[in-house]
């Protein structure tokens, strides 16, 4: 059995209740591949999670964009994994480059977050990726391997983790890693899993690509052997997100 294609939509800090209704309406009306071909998860801001979860068609799941590193308590402004589990939110995005860069989340902190979220029954979309400076210095694999290792050091199973490779230089910039560049890093990460964890984890773990994915480039990216899906930013707020989900059919035909 191959790895099921996975498409996540990260809405980031965008939207009003009216915007959310329009996006949900578009998704509900869209013609999507069946759930045995693709797993779809959308990640609205915290304040809209319950609204989206209740109004969205059941085969599309929801994810939070972050959660706290341990049990809730005196942590003003944070949301705990327990709260998400209580709301019936199955997924959470952790380690996104925007949080690593703007909020100084370290590799170790992200590893702790992933471990705690998993311990509370959540599934995790864990993000890794290099900056433009790191790519130009030729250290891409060292960077993403270190980020992945920090997670691997804290968890005992990868069954409920999807790894998202998001080159920082391609997020929201309109620049996209070429299919060959994406495949090279995905293959490198899979090799890392095989060497450092196990052949089984390497074969089963889904590694998805994020970074200016659009309706026009998604099918070529999806055709790469080790690209198991996408984490989509801006395009997930637009009708073309349906086209990106349909790119899963490329794998079915392969």
> Which of 39, 82, 96, 98 is labelled catalytic?
96
Structure token pair of residue 236? 């997930």
Q: Tell me whether strands 5-10 and 91-94 are parallel, antiparallel or unpaired.
A: unpaired
**CA distance linking residue 242 with residue 130, whole number of Å:** 28
Residue 109 has a pLDDT of 98
Q: Report percent pLDDT > 70 for the chain.
A: 98
User: Nearest to residue 131, comparing CAs of 173, 74, 170, 182?
Assistant: 170
Q: How far is CA 111 from the centre of its chain?
A: 15
pTM metric for this prediction: 0.97
Q: Is 186 one of the annotated active-site residues of the chain? A: no
> Quick one: pLDDT band at residue 134, thresholds 50, 70, 90?
very high
**CA distance linking residue 37 with residue 34, whole number of Å:** 6
> Which of 39, 98, 105, 166 is labelled catalytic?
166
Residue 47 has a pLDDT of 98
**CA distance linking residue 246 with residue 98, whole number of Å:** 27
**CA distance linking residue 23 with residue 227, whole number of Å:** 26
Indicate if the pLDDT at residue 65 is higher than 90: yes
> Quick one: pLDDT band at residue 36, thresholds 50, 70, 90?
very high
Residue with tokens 């294609």: 5
Q: Is 130 one of the annotated active-site residues of the chain? A: no
Q: DSSP secondary structure string, 117-151?
A: HHHTT-EEEEEE---HHHHHTT-HHHHHHHHHHHH
Report, as an integer, the average pLDDT of 103-119: 98
Q: What is the pLDDT of residues 45-64, one digit of tens each?
A: 999 999 999 999 999 999 99
Residue 2 has a pLDDT of 86
Report, as an integer, the average pLDDT of 219-233: 97
**CA distance linking residue 190 with residue 197, whole number of Å:** 10
């Amino acid at each position: 059995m191959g790895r099921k294609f996975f498409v996540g939509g990260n809405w980031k800090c965008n939207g009003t209740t009216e915007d959310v209704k329009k996006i949900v309406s578009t998704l509900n009306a869209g013609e999507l591949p069946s759930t045995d071909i693709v797993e779809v998860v959308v990640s609205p801001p915290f304040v809209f999670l319950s609204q989206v979860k209740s109004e969205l068609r059941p085969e599309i799941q929801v994810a939070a964009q972050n959660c706290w590193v341990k049990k809730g308590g005196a942590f003003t402004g944070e949301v705990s994994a327990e709260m998400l589990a209580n709301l019936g939110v199955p997924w959470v995005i952790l380690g996104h480059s925007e949080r690593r860069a703007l909020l100084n989340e370290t590799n170790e902190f992200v590893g702790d977050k992933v471990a705690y979220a998993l311990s509370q029954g959540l599934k995790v979309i864990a993000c890794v990726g290099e900056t433009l400076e790191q790519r130009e210095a030729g250290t891409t694999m060292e960077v993403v391997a270190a980020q992945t290792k920090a997670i691997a050091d804290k968890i005992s199973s990868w069954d409920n983790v999807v790894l998202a490779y998001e080159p920082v230089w391609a997020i929201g910039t309109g620049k996209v890693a070429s299919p060959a560049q994406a495949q090279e890093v995905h293959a490198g990460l899979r090799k890392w899993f095989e060497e450092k964890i196990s052949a089984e984890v390497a074969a089963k773990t889904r590694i998805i690509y994020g970074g200016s994915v659009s309706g026009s480039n998604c099918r070529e990216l999806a055709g790469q052997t080790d690209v198991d899906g996408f984490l989509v930013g801006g395009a997930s707020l637009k009708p073309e997100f349906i086209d990106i989900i349909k790119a899963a059919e490329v794998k079915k035909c392969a």
